[in-house]
Amino acid sequence: MNADEAAIRDVLEQWASATRDGREEEVLANHLDELVLFDVLAPLQYTSAAQYRASWEAWQPDTQGSLQFALQDLSVQAGTDVGYAFGLLQCGGTLPDGQPFGEIVRITFCLRKLDGMWKVAHQHVSRPVERD
């Protein structure tokens, strides 16, 4: 792994850690203000970090104890000023009524290197659709 790939991996680990620990002010610290973000929940597409941040209260579950939010099987590639990563994300926790919840979703990130720093320009989180 080269230095840029390690830096991208670090950006994504910071994102996962901030999310897992509830440090909301840090979750999008390495995202561009203008980006396209596809998420598993409606409205499915956001076109700015501010728009995505404004939606959090509507869908973020109340949990007791620690939240599970861990990158798995992350593959990272970096060019001179553009990079990408994809893998899986293990999400879960315990609801206030004691019921556990969890799922594994797919993740893809496209990043740009600006002024020597890697920033997320596109984030895509999805889960498979079961078909009959």
Residue 132 included in any domain: no
**Residue at 131 is within a domain:** no
pLDDT at 131: 76
* pLDDT in the model for residue 60: 63
Q: Is residue 101 part of a domain?
A: yes
Task: Read off the CATH number of the domain in which 114 is found.
Answer: 3.10.450.50
Confidence at residue 1, expressed as pLDDT on a 0 to 100 scale = 82
Mean pLDDT per 10-residue section of the chain, whose length is 132 residues? 96 94 90 94 88 77 79 97 97 88 94 97 91 72
Three-state DSSP at 111 gives strand
User: How long a stretch of residues is the chain?
Assistant: 132
- With the CA atoms of 16, 20, 26 and 32 taken in that order, what torsion angle do they form, in degrees rounded to the nearest 10? 40
Residue 106 CA: distances (Å) to CA of 38, 116, 126: 11, 28, 5
Tell me, what's the pLDDT at 46? 94
Q: In what order do the strands lie in the sheet with 45-46?
A: 45-46, 31-38, 117-126, 100-114, 82-94, 64-78
The structural domain count of the chain equals: 1
117 in a domain, yes or no?
Answer: yes
Tokens read off for 59: 């869908």
What pLDDT is stored for residue 63 in this prediction? 74
In one letter, which amino acid is 98? Answer: G
CB 74 within 8 A of CB 100: no
Residue 76 lies in a domain: yes
Q: Tell me if 68 sits within 8 A of 102, measured CB to CB.
A: yes
Output phi, psi for 82, to 5 deg. -135, 140
Where in the sequence is the domain holding 103, given as residue range(s)?
3-126
